[in-house]
């Protein structure tokens, strides 16, 4: 009798694991230009990013609705995409120039701080003074480059905004009509499958650990950038046991232009 009781005590945790939910450990991160080192990249977590876990493939649903609507999605004119890319490059050039200018100004202040306790007759003071003159000239050149880059970026953007807004209106109107029933279709899929759409949000490290019933799921989220969005709709199979790791990064994202 005592052995049977002991067996049940030992078996209870195993039964809880076997009958409990599975877990998905999602990590979200992307590489971005390092603001402190020109030309270098640094990995940043995507914090406060909403993650949706759907028991069906949302892309298939939208593809079916578009096919049923009968009118294809408006295509973005190639010259508008080219203009968008040109603006993005101009903005990146301006950001680089601004960083160079800012680093130069920081070095000037650092030199002044080093010179302050020194006597003007000391060799170190003289060397620092000469460096200050060289850096000061570099900062002046960097400021001109920065201002020119900003002017080019502003001019390109000014001519682009009106066309972008017009195209956005056309695309929004099409989407409103083509996907008017999307809420109802999603609700129907949830009822048919008997599984809800589960929502979670990444923490400051771009991480979330979510409980899900075993089965097939799709992990959906997106991250907006200046001129595009990173879109994820990743299929996973959830099983009980150890958490299933899923990394969302640029490597497995679909990059889509936005307006």
pLDDT at 93: 92
Retrieve residue 217's tokens: 């799921």
**Which of 3-7, 61-65, 99-103 is predicted with the least confidence, judged by mean pLDDT?**
3-7
Residues 158-179, mean pLDDT to the nearest whole number: 92
Report whether pLDDT(172) > 50. Answer: yes
More confident residue, 18 or 232: 232
Question: What pLDDT, in 10s, does the model give residues 118-140?
Answer: 999 899 999 999 999 999 999 99
Residue 232 banded pLDDT, cuts 50, 70, 90: very high
Range 15-19 contact pairs with CB under 8 angstroms and sequence separation of 24 or more: 17/240, 17/241, 18/240, 19/240
pTM of the model: 0.75
Residues 24-49, mean pLDDT to the nearest whole number: 88
Residues 83-94, mean pLDDT to the nearest whole number: 91
Question: Which of 227, 259, 258, 230 lies closest to 90 in space, CA to CA?
Answer: 227
pLDDT at 17: 41
Residue 2 banded pLDDT, cuts 50, 70, 90: very low
Question: What pLDDT, in 10s, does the model give residues 38-76?
Answer: 678 899 999 999 999 999 999 999 999 999 999 999 999
Domains annotated for the chain, with CATH where assigned, are 19-55+195-257 (2.60.40.10), 78-177 (1.10.287)
Question: What pLDDT, in 10s, does the model give residues 105-120?
Answer: 999 999 999 999 999 9
Residue 34 banded pLDDT, cuts 50, 70, 90: confident
Residue 76, burial from CB neighbour count under 10 angstroms (0-12, 13-18, 19+) = middle
pLDDT at 38: 67
pLDDT at 159: 83
């Amino acid at each position: 009798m005592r052995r049977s009781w002991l067996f049940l005590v030992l078996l209870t945790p195993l039964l809880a694991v076997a009958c409990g939910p599975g877990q998905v450990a999602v990590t979200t991160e992307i590489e971005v230009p390092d603001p402190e080192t020109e030309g270098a990249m640094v990995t940043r977590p995507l914090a406060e990013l909403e993650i949706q876990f759907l028991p069906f493939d949302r892309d298939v649903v939208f593809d079916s609705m578009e096919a049923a609507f009968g009118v294809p999605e408006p295509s973005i004119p190639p010259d508008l995409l080219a203009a968008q890319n040109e603006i993005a490059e101009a903005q990146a050039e301006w950001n680089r120039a601004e960083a160079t200018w800012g680093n130069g100004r920081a070095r000037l202040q650092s030199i002044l701080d080093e010179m302050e306790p020194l006597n003007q007759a000391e060799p170190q003071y003289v060397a620092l003074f000469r460096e200050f003159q060289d850096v000061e000239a570099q900062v002046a050149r960097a400021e001109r480059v920065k201002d020119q880059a900003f002017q080019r970026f502003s001019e390109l953007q000014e001519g682009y905004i009106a066309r972008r807004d017009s195209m956005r209106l056309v695309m929004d109107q099409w989407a409103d009509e083509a996907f008017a029933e999307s809420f109802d279709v999603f609700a129907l899929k949830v009822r048919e499958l008997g599984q809800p759409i589960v929502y979670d949000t990444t923490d400051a490290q771009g991480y979330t650990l979510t409980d899900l019933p075993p089965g097939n799921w799709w992990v959906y989220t997106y991250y907006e950038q200046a001129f595009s969005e990173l879109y994820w709709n990743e299929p996973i199979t959830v099983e009980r046991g150890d958490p299933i790791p899923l990394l969302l990064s640029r490597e497995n994202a679909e990059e889509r232009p936005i307006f």
